[in-house]
Amino acid sequence: MTLSVILHFFSTFLRCLKTFVSALTSVLAAIQVVTSQKFALQKVVLQKATVIHWLWKGLLVSICISSPFVNANTGVAFVHGTGDSSDALNDYWTRDMVFSVTGGLPDTSKFVVVNCNFDEYAWSNEAGGCLARQISSFIERESISDLVVITHSYGGTVMRWILSNPTWDRRHPVIINATRSVTAIAPSSLGTPLADAVIDGNRFERVLGWILGYRSPAVELQQEDWMAHYNNTLFYGTAGRPALPVTFKSIVGTDVESSPFDSDSYCGGYAYQVALEVTQEWLDNCSDGFIECRSQAGAGTVWFYDVDRTRRREPLSHHQSRRPCFNLDVFLRNDL
Which residues in this chain contact another protein in the complex, by CB under 8 A?
81-83, 121, 123-124, 165-170, 172-173, 176, 194, 196-198, 200-207, 212-214, 220, 223, 225-226, 228-229, 232-234, 242-243, 245, 271-272, 274-279, 281-282, 289-290, 318-319
Residue 153 CB, nearest approach to another protein (Å): 8
Are residues 222 and 256 in contact, defined by beta-carbon separation less than 8 angstroms?
A: no
CB of 259 to another protein, least distance (A): 14
Taking each continuous run of H as one helix and of E as one strand, the counts in the chain are: 15, 8
Closest CA to 111 of 72, 76, 151: 76
Contact 59, 88 (CB under 8 A): no
- Nearest distance from C-beta of residue 162 to another protein, angstroms: 12
Closest among 217, 228, 230 to 294, alpha carbons compared: 228
Nearer to another protein, 204 or 261 (CB): 204
Pick 52 or 174: Cβ nearer another protein: 174
3-state secondary structure of 93: helix
Q: How far is the CB of 207 from another protein (least distance, A)?
A: 5
**CB of 48 or CB of 206, closer to another protein:** 206
Contact 297, 304 (CB under 8 A): no
Q: How far is the CB of 319 from another protein (least distance, A)?
A: 6
Helix (H, G, I), strand (E, B) or coil at 247: strand
Determine the 3-state secondary structure of 150 from DSSP. Answer: strand
Q: At closest approach, how far in Å is the CB of 112 from another protein?
A: 23
- The torsion angle over the Cα atoms of residues 31, 36, 41 and 46, rounded to 10 degrees, is 20
Residues 6+ apart with CB under 8 A from 14: 106
Query: Cβ closer to another protein: 142 or 196?
Result: 196
Q: Which of 317, 194, 165, 336 is nearest to 251 (CA)?
A: 317
Nearer to another protein, 4 or 202 (CB): 202
Provide the pairing of β-strand 111-113 with 74-79.
parallel
- Nearest distance in Å: CB 48, another protein: 38
CB-wise, 49 or 292, nearer to another protein?
A: 292
Single-letter residue type at 71: N
Q: Which is nearer to another protein, 64 or 234 (CB)?
A: 234
